[in-house]
Amino acid sequence: TTLNLNWSKMASYGYDGLKLRRRDTSAEDVGVVASTSNNTPGPETPKSDVGNLQIKHKISNVKAVILLGGQKDGTRFRPLSLTCPKPLFPIAGVPMIYHLMEACAKVEGLTEILLVGVFPENNLTSFVMHAERSLGVSVRYLQEFKPLGTGGGLYFFRDLIMRGNPDCFFVLHADLCADFPLSELLAFHGANGEGNHMTIMSVKARKEQAGNYGCLVSDEGSAEVQHYVEKPSTFVSTDINAGVYVLSSAIFDDMKKVFLKNHDNTGSLREEIWLEKDIIANLAGADGPCRVFLYRTKNFWSQVKTAGSVIYANRHYLKNFKASSPDLLSIETENGPSIVGDVRIHDSAEVDPTAKLGPNVTIGPGVKIGAGTRVRDAILLEGVQIGNHSVILNAIIDRRSVIGDWARVEGAPVQVNPNDPTTHEPTKNLFSPDGRLNPLVTIVGEETQIPNESMVRNIICMPNKILSAENYTNQIIL
């Protein structure tokens, strides 16, 4: 499958024109809206009031590194990632990673955003150029020669990361949806440690969910991390690694030790370095001054691993737009469709006035929606056509697919309580123990045709299919 995206195709993903623009970068705007609480860290975090922190290390020069992964990552995201690199998949009308980059650009003193991954460079060239102009900060893509792990890419490009002598740098995983308290996290980092330390952003998880993440044990008084286990088989803690870090340059000395160990005289040639297993697990609780600190936040946080989590993230970002950029949301007009809740419609889309959209709907460029059609909790990408009197619920319809008249495309709702700070979009197996497809958000791959009067429920359909039967339920259509 080719992933060569030129600019015209990049524009079709929803960030043509000036729809990506830098928001107000005032300190009060950092974090925008927290759907679970206010934007300050929870009371569990020592010295949670950033304004009262006693800064030990002055930080005025910062960079951000976003880890993108590669084509072999994101298998649970298929078929959406077959023709579009997962980090560029549009959520709430803009590429997934742009939400992270926008949060980084608001941090005072940030000079550069580096994207590190295995995707071919031409996949991201146009996006990088456009994002740099939109954000007003230097953006660069660094391509790994092979997958090097969550720390290997950092070590391989250490000279470029440290160019300009930043005081420290953020590291973020690309598949996150959150209200990122980056300025607060940075201030907390500057108020702790000896200058050779790292700070991990942490959120609370339910006990039954915690084992799906890296778990941290810390001292409640000092926030020093004493123990770290990646995806433990037994219960360790409800404090989980949120995939956001502030690292000091001394981390590269630790990575060097791992690199040399991986290339010892025994013939070992392991190129990968894993930030979690090779670095954090070894530094946590080590002798000497503490070098790993925990910053706990109650802000909204979730991973974007599956189609279900995309619908969840879309809901959250649209809600944020209402507070931060209300002009990006569509409003009901006398000659337009009925709109319920948060809906974003691309300017080039054509929606019949008798249609009803929302809540939690994003309509991409060139989409056409017929008379009497109902769309809720859905993302329709570029060029999708929906006929008259059809229903689209809990679904993602990929580019240029065609849904006929009186058709029903429906997936299972994302059963997550957005008002519960310990609830995240849970990881589900594709199949149940008895071999049935578990209830999921329905995905219709690109350039698929669904005929009139069809019912499609709980399916994953690969691209370029012509469905002929009237009903499809609980299937993967290959």
192-234 pLDDT tens trace: 888 899 999 999 888 888 888 899 998 888 888 999 999 988 8
Tens digits of residue pLDDT in 124-136:
899 999 999 999 9
Question: What is the pLDDT, as a whole number, of residue 266?
Answer: 64
The three-point CA angle 358-134-137 to 5° equals 130
Reduce the DSSP state of residue 384 to 3 states and report it: coil
Residue 226 CA to residue 286 CA, distance in Å, equals 8
Amino acid at 176: L
Per DSSP (E only), the strands in 59-148 are 62-69, 90-91, 94-95, 110-117, 138-143
The list of the chain residues with pLDDT below 50 reads: 1-49, 417-423
Nearest C-alpha neighbor of 474 from the set 464, 460, 462, 455: 460
Tens digits of residue pLDDT in 20-75:
443 333 332 222 222 333 333 333 444 444 556 677 778 889 999 999 987 665 56
Which uninterrupted H or E stretch holds 397? strand 391-397
Is residue 31 within 8 Å of 99, Cβ to Cβ? Answer: no
**Which token pair is 101?**
């980059």
Is residue 107 within 8 Å of 182, Cβ to Cβ? Answer: yes
Question: What is the pLDDT, as a whole number, of residue 22?
Answer: 39
Residue 240 CA to residue 320 CA, distance in Å, equals 24
Nearest C-alpha neighbor of 403 from the set 429, 355, 369, 432: 369
Question: What is the pLDDT, as a whole number, of residue 115?
Answer: 96
pTM of the model: 0.84
Reduce the DSSP state of residue 347 to 3 states and report it: coil
Residue 351 CA to residue 359 CA, distance in Å, equals 16
Tokens 């989590």, residue located: 309
Question: What is the pLDDT, as a whole number, of residue 436?
Answer: 65
Residue 256 CA to residue 273 CA, distance in Å, equals 10
The three-point CA angle 229-234-237 to 5° equals 55
